[in-house]
Amino acid sequence: MAARGLKKALALRWLPHSSDNHLEEDEGRNNERRGLLRSHLEQVVPITDLDEEPKQSSSAVEEPKTVVLKVSMNCHCCARKVEKQISKMEGVVSFKVELESKKVTVVGNVDPIEVLESICRVMKSAQILAAA
């Protein structure tokens, strides 16, 4: 019996009161929200035609670059390390690791210096032979 009385008292305590002070706070919050909405309307960007976007983005697309490096690889484990490191790089379209000639060819939207730095993290030495 006492538990029911306690639950009822707690429920009444947590329910919102309909006092004038509480109503004034709600009106203030609503006015504040309206002001925020009005300020954000000024930042609205108009929607452009969908036909115009591909024309603009096609000129911004870069052609893939080819980077050829000479890497000091001695075994298949070394070649595998290089393959794993290059596969993690962003912008790489394809790559080829030639263990016999110790050459690595990377094709993609990459910077030759970034490719060199990335391979130097896992190998002792590497140098750029050609970058086009």
Q: Which CATH number fits domain 62-131: 3.30.70.100, 3.40.47.10, 2.30.42.10, 3.30.365.10?
A: 3.30.70.100
Residue 62 — pLDDT band, cuts 50, 70, 90?
A: confident
Residue 65: per-residue pLDDT: 92
Q: Tell me the average pLDDT across 85-98.
A: 94
Q: Residue 50 above 80 pLDDT?
A: no
Q: Can you spell out the DSSP letters for the chain?
A: -HHHHHHHHHHHHHSPP--HHHHHHHHHHHHHHHHHHHHHHTTPPPPPPTTHHHHHHHHHPPPPEEEEEEE---SHHHHHHHHHHHHTSTTEEEEEEETTTTEEEEEES--HHHHHHHHHTTSS-EEEEEE-
- The pTM (predicted TM-score) of the whole model is 0.54
